[in-house]
Amino acid sequence: MKISFLIHNAYGIGGTITTTLNLAQALAARHDVEIVSVLRHRERPNFTVDPRVRLRPLVDLRTEKDDPLHCRPARVFPAAEYRYQQYSELTDRRIAEWLEGTDADVVIGTRPGLNVHLASQAPPQVVRVGQEHLTLDKHPPALRTALRRAYRGLDVLTTVTEADAAAYRRKMRLPGVRVQALPNSVPDPVLPAADGRAKVVVAAGRLVPVKRYDLLVGAFARVAAEHPDWQLRIYGKGEERDRLRRLVQRLGLYDNVFLMGAAAPMEAEWVKGSIGAAASDFEPFGMTLVEAMRCGLPVVSTDCPYGPGEIIKDGEDGRLVPVGDSGALAEALLELVGDDERRRRMGRTAMENARRFAPGPVVEQAERLIDEAMSARRAGRPVAPARDGFQRALVSRGFAARDAAHAAAGGALRAVRKGQR
């Protein structure tokens, strides 16, 4: 089958881009796969794209950023979506035209605003899969209202955790839409796993406030005081870099804590460590946790919503500590730093347990969902069966709303074309 991913900007850097490329690469072994990037701002992507996966942009900002249509606000992309300011009548038009002419069997949207386009504008024969890489509870109320209406036009909505899937089922009332958790996948490592001997703790991710690297550095001060031969290496870039550098200097940790900058891929850096660490206040999933575990590192993490608790088995392949608790984070790190045998045993267990996030198992789940959705759409029935008369009425109204949305979207596209003439 032909599978198309619709993504914001495949030429940038971020977790959604990484996970989309991972899944596209795995699916390309058995399917015709393309990635459609709404925006493009550079010649080549930051990440390597598998040669079996086609990449095509819709709007090239290098030459079209001053297009008159790109100076007008978007009409279809929801105004409450985080990326709204980067969308326009031009992106509305290009997305609608691409969806109108696509020969894909399945289109997978990768953020809320794009899922709205997909739900309302995809041709009737196309299976519509919306992905949620953030979480419902983090969306502003206005966006949740827009999604509640639009998402009834989807066949499947996937979240990266069971907790978020449960929130969608409980709060959004999407009759006929299959809402299911589908975790992100991490490619199989190609380097030998870490052996737990290096006296290095590794952390990675964007240097932004929610990741709480300040908490991690503060906790590591206790580790360095008791084990001065251990290091903390933090990989990533972002707005917090200068503040973290000042914190390292103030705590006198310049021989123990190192801001390493960005590294892609990270596998070569994970295997140089013995413990992974994360101190986030919030994680929709936790890709870096899985990456570290797949390389043989036990991970010490805050038990923040939503991902870490579904990835780490506390005391078995890592440690979970309360959010914002620097003391608990330090104690958990010291527990593994000071016990070589336990650290190595937990690292081996982490590598084994994290295999459930390998491309194979995740792709199998994705293919089952897609097959069920294709069968349902061909039979003219929803993917998620209605449970009672009330739900069947909601499903019927949902299909009617979808048809109305198709008509409205078509009208908006015609208006854009007329305006351009």
Res 386: pLDDT: 45
Res 385: pLDDT: 63
Are 408 and 120 spatial neighbours (Cβ–Cβ below 8 Å)?
yes
Tokens at 344, concatenated: 């190595």
Long-range contacts of 116-119 (CB under 8 A, 24+ apart): 116/76, 116/77, 116/78, 116/81, 116/146, 116/147, 116/150, 117/6, 117/76, 117/77, 117/92, 117/409, 118/6, 118/153, 118/154, 119/150, 119/151, 119/152, 119/153, 119/154, 119/402, 119/405
CA distance 364 to 359: 8
Res 92: pLDDT: 98
CA distance 119 to 242: 42
CB proximity list for 292: less than 8 A, separation 6 or greater: 202, 204, 270, 273, 276, 299, 350
Average pLDDT value over all residues in the chain: 91
Q: Which strand (E) or helix (H) includes residue 6? A: strand 2-7
Q: Is the pLDDT of residue 389 over 50?
A: no
User: What is the pTM for the complete model shown?
Assistant: 0.84
CB proximity list for 197: less than 8 A, separation 6 or greater: 274
Q: Where are the beta strands (DSSP E) in 145-235?
A: 156-159, 178-181, 200-204, 231-235
Question: Distances from the Cα of 272 to the Cαs of 49, 171, 200, 266, 349, in angstroms?
Answer: 26, 44, 7, 10, 18
Intervals of CATH 3.40.50.2000 along the chain: 2-185+362-420, 200-357
Kindly state the DSSP code that residue 283 receives in the 8-state scheme: B
pLDDT in tens, 138-166: 999 999 999 999 999 999 999 999 999 99
CA distance 296 to 270: 8
CA distance 14 to 44: 15
CA distance 118 to 157: 12
Q: Is the pLDDT of residue 408 over 70?
A: no
Res 394: pLDDT: 36
Sheet holding 200-204, edge to edge: 257-261, 231-235, 200-204, 275-278, 299-302, 318-321
pLDDT in tens, 86-135: 999 999 999 999 999 999 999 999 999 999 999 999 999 999 999 999 99
Q: Is the pLDDT of residue 396 over 60?
A: no
Tokens at 268, concatenated: 């070569």
CA distance 223 to 246: 19
pLDDT in tens, 340-351: 999 999 999 999
pLDDT band at 217 (very low <50, low <70, confident <90, very high): very high
Res 265: pLDDT: 84
pLDDT band at 54 (very low <50, low <70, confident <90, very high): very high
237-252: b (≥16 Cβ within 10 Å) or e: beebeeebeebbeeee
pLDDT in tens, 267-306: 999 999 999 999 999 999 999 999 999 999 999 999 999 9
Fold for domain 2-185+362-420? Rossmann fold (3.40.50)
- Mean predicted confidence (pLDDT) in 392-409: 43
The residue count for the chain: 421
Are 132 and 164 spatial neighbours (Cβ–Cβ below 8 Å)?
yes
Q: Is the pLDDT of residue 308 over 50?
A: yes
Q: How far apart are the first and last CA of the chain?
A: 37
Give domain 200-357's CATH superfamily.
Glycogen Phosphorylase B; (3.40.50.2000)
Res 383: pLDDT: 87
Q: Is the pLDDT of residue 307 over 80?
A: yes
pLDDT in tens, 102-116: 999 999 999 999 999
The half-sphere exposure of 304 on its side-chain side, counting CA atoms within 13 A, is 21
Res 391: pLDDT: 37
CB proximity list for 327: less than 8 A, separation 6 or greater: 219
- Mean predicted confidence (pLDDT) in 227-255: 97
Q: Is the pLDDT of residue 414 over 90?
A: no
